[in-house]
Amino acid sequence: MKSFIDYPENSDFSIHNIPFGVAVFDKEYIACATRIGDIVVDLATLYDFGYFNDVDGLQDNVFEAYTLNELIELGKPVTRIIREKIQSLLLEGSLLSKDEKSIEDCFFNLDEVKMLMPVHVANYTDFYSSIEHATNVGKLFRDPENALLPNWKHLPVAYHGRASSIVISGTEIIRPKGQTKPKDQPSPVFGPTKQLDFELELGFIINKNTELGDSVSVEQAEDAIFGLVLFNDWSARDIQAWEYVPLGPFLAKNFASSISPWVVTLEALEPFRTDSPKQDPEVLDYLKTTGKKNFDLNLEVALTPDKGTEVIISKTNFKTMYWTMAQQLAHHTVNGCNIEVGDLYASGTISGTSSDSFGSLLELTYKGEKPLILNDGQKRDFLSDHDTLSMRGWGEKDGVRVGFGEVVGTIVPAK
């Protein structure tokens, strides 16, 4: 496939992608959008010009919305056709390629628009599904010989997080405050975290509602997943260490999580399907899957200090995840928990096996004991004020590249 829109060969937003997001056009008009190269396409106006008249199941202009929720609730049979329709319109020689009026009114350069939160997040759950990450953390805080807790290989461990503090890429991250318990202090102290960290994750977004008491099976799971985003689950490690027993993280996590603006559909990621790691011991029947359920997606993390230059601090891959998205959703709902359109489920920190492939500073610096050395000689055990953290992700195979762009956040001092 070749588009009539020019873009670099290494663009995440090729004709093979066709992601969905929400943009502010002309500084005031908000609508659902797609992106090809560095061109953002206003889908609501394109609808008004009649380009979606032949799409069955699309009765109204769902692109005239402040979120993608109404669009993705149409379900895969409709959204798949919408994506394929957009793809065909962007091909060389298409009717749209010759429609100068529509191109003038619907196509915008990336620097002319502002991206918003793509979905209204109804509920947010964070999993803990990388065996490398779970093992690393277990070794840091427990007996290295028993790094994984007994339940870890039997079910996808998770906790419910705060949906209201999930923010769009580019939002400044205010250093959180809370209680910590220094080793040399008899009692806890209060103040800004001294161990602010990132967590490299991907998140998937739900496209349907279910009734309380119903379950989504592993076979049905991917029909309920619209697409994926990059996800940075910011973490305050010193606050977490003091508060998490016995109920898990609270203030250490709920102050902010960042997502990328473009939702990449499962259909766009089909070329990158791959086998999952072998699960041993064998999982229970409701978690057993067939076929390729993991995705070969390259991930990297970059840190840019204030007035400094960017340094890549981690490179890893999503394909190593022990628990798949299908298993995560099946387990989440097997007890009858209902799901809602816009629900966001994060993978948990994605780490590889080598020391340069870990998905958090907690692992990369061995709890801060082995600081990273940046290009200018600065050291980082955890994040400093005015540091900028960028995460990127993409799949590439046989000349096809599909990516997420990036999710970016800059740390600002505590209020």
CATH code of the domain covering residue 363 = 3.90.850.10
Do 394 and 284 share a structural domain? yes
Structure tokens at 375: 């290009």
Do 133 and 103 share a structural domain? no
Instruction: Evaluate whether 330 touches 217 at the Cβ level (below 8 Å).
Output: yes
Residue 256 in this model has a pLDDT that exceeds 90: yes
Catalytic site includes residue 133:
yes
Do 320 and 195 share a structural domain? yes
Do 401 and 276 share a structural domain? yes
Query: pLDDT per residue over 5-20, tens digit each?
Result: 999 999 999 999 999 9
Do 205 and 86 share a structural domain? no
Is 342 a member of any domain?
Answer: yes
Query: pLDDT per residue over 317-359, tens digit each?
Result: 999 999 999 999 999 999 999 999 999 999 999 999 999 999 9
Average pLDDT, rounded, for the chain: 97
Structural domain boundaries, residue 68: 21-116
CA gap 131, 139 in Å, rounded: 12
Query: pLDDT per residue over 156-191, tens digit each?
Result: 999 999 999 999 999 999 999 999 999 999 999 999
Classify strands 200-206 and 225-232 as parallel, antiparallel or unpaired.
antiparallel
Residue 298 in this model has a pLDDT that exceeds 90: yes
Query: In whole angstroms, what separates CA 139 from the centre of its chain?
Result: 26
Residue 31 in this model has a pLDDT that exceeds 90: yes
From the list 16, 133, 331, 332, the catalytic residue is: 133
Cβ neighbours around 280 below 10 Å, total:
7
Q: Residue 363 to residues 80, 93, 414: CA-CA distances in angstroms?
A: 39, 51, 24
Do 149 and 82 share a structural domain? no
Q: Which of 317, 324, 318 is nearest to 279 (CA)?
A: 324
Residue 43 in this model has a pLDDT that exceeds 90: yes
Do 286 and 190 share a structural domain? yes
Q: Which of 208, 99, 135, 120 is nearest to 166 (CA)?
A: 120
Structurally, how many domains does the chain consist of?
Answer: 2
Which residues lie across from 408 on neighbouring strands?
A: 390
75 sits in the region (left: phi over 0; alpha: psi -120 to 50; else beta) called left
Do 304 and 212 share a structural domain? yes
Q: Report the percentage of the chain scoring pLDDT > 70.
A: 100
pLDDT-derived band at 141 (thresholds 50, 70, 90) equals: confident
Residue-level pLDDT at 328: 98
Is 8 a member of any domain?
Answer: no
Residue 96 gets which letter from DSSP? G
Chain position carrying tokens 């993991």: 294
Q: List all residues 6 or more positions away from 230 whose beta carbon is below 8 Å from its beta carbon.
A: 169, 201, 202, 203, 259, 260, 391, 392, 393, 404, 405, 406, 407
Residue 143 in this model has a pLDDT that exceeds 90: no
Q: What is the DSSP string of 147-165?
A: -S-TTTTTS--EEEE-STT
Residue-level pLDDT at 6: 98
Residue-level pLDDT at 35: 98
Residue 243 in this model has a pLDDT that exceeds 90: yes
Residue-level pLDDT at 91: 98
Q: Residue 151 to residues 248, 280, 309, 332: CA-CA distances in angstroms?
A: 16, 12, 43, 15
pLDDT-derived band at 413 (thresholds 50, 70, 90) equals: very high
Structure tokens at 65: 């919305």
CA angle 120, 125, 129 (to 5 degrees): 135
Q: Print burial letters for 337-357: b (CB count within 10 Å at least 16), e (below 16).
A: bebebbbbbbbbbbbbeeeeb
CA gap 408, 169 in Å, rounded: 5
Residue 193 in this model has a pLDDT that exceeds 90: yes
Residue-level pLDDT at 98: 98
Is 11 a member of any domain?
Answer: no
Is 16 a member of any domain?
Answer: no
Query: pLDDT per residue over 206-238, tens digit each?
Result: 999 999 999 999 999 999 999 999 999 999 999
CATH code of the domain covering residue 54 = 2.30.30.230
CA angle 127, 129, 134 (to 5 degrees): 110
Is 405 a member of any domain?
Answer: yes
Residue 145 in this model has a pLDDT that exceeds 90: no
CA angle 264, 268, 158 (to 5 degrees): 50
Give the amino acid at 80.
Answer: R
pLDDT-derived band at 142 (thresholds 50, 70, 90) equals: confident
